[in-house]
Chain A
């Protein structure tokens, strides 16, 4: 692959109005294959383009542009280059122009997306909330940091702080009120209201109700009566915008410091969201919010399980609404018995990759739950 790296030149930004005669182009085309449109890019990233032509020799060169500047000219396949997008997440315009030996050209353009990551601290301190259970699923109390080891992509980290978390929690109670919930609504109301009563006076919660539309019934408050009135007022109607509701809950909790949790109840799979599952999973990875999901009846377990376990939370599945009370009680118990763990990461490469986290207990009979990782974006970890 002979490559000609040229100085960065300010060039015509917009592709020539690719108004070339289709007949002349004879199937000559270019398509940027990586990164994907609407993906987010950071650090040194490969840009790849696929060129189709009658014969490979028809391709004179491919020029790659980032932000309207030529960053690379490639004269042989595979057409690709590496560009350093820096440590800050932003939207980028990436363009590739393929020139045919006969003088005409075709182009493709993609736009990448900025990822929203909240951050409160400059230092690269990673904070985790950890839940520990034994083989019988009992929560384990009175543990110290010596009981744990933390690994980032397999590399051990030094725990700096470890204590039982007793500070206030901020919570989003998210309730499905789609039409299918109609028969069980009374029990749902009672169970959610009793969950509100498990909150301590210093805890705050908000209530989100969703069918195909997502509404905030109560903004953050510690007023149990107000919260109970909201959770008891939902009416079953419409389809299920599950992902929109989860995204809204993440959005509402963004910018609030301390431990945060979403407690979600739904009886069905998503049927009408504007958000796709991938975006919700990305949000779950990007935000430090514990997601507890309760699936009532026949739901797609893998979705709720993956989402909640990514955050360090948990998914519960019950067949009948009468079992909801027990599940809500269990969630309340877990939230009261969690550990705060922090460490200064040894990571020095802020390239947007997802760094896998693993918290291990020295007791092999214990199971440890914590969020599964974070995006390597500078300033994103100290939440």
Chain B
């Protein structure tokens, strides 16, 4: 599913737009409605956050959203049940810290699959500890997407390139989610390095704070991941679907590469 989403984008000479939104924020139904509206507005892949009490890779915006969602009683189980009732029309990925996935138990992969989930992004699962999880995911044809950072060693990048399925989640710079700003093109050499190692798609996230940054990344990467900016838009009462349309528009490459 993930591979073919990237293939379709490539065929149309555009980068894939991957949107992140926390499941259960501000409540389960509203979050799934928002995510569906993002799919309808042009998002190519839907990343749904599984709220966690201790999200160490996330900035204050996602932390606060996760906490609110947990206070509303969200759990991975309820999220998967809710998802089963939706046809998102686009591939869905779960972004979760490791512990809620472990706590869910043995039926995780099968339940995720029956809720039409295509794969997982696990920010606190390093490549050298990932085998036990990726083997189980692969049994159910689910992708485990690994993260690469500007600080990752050459050896580590090689392992990530070899083992990541669906795409490689490239972190734009050192730090946590939601800290935007100039210089997002600085990730370009890292993207190039990964692309020289593998045919797997390479997407960039962390700090993509609007269509301009999305457009810049679309110039050299296969996908753009936007999260905090969308939560901010929702919190401010902005038209989230309209923002997704703008972001998608920015990922269309108007001149051939």
- On whether the two chains bind one another, the answer is no
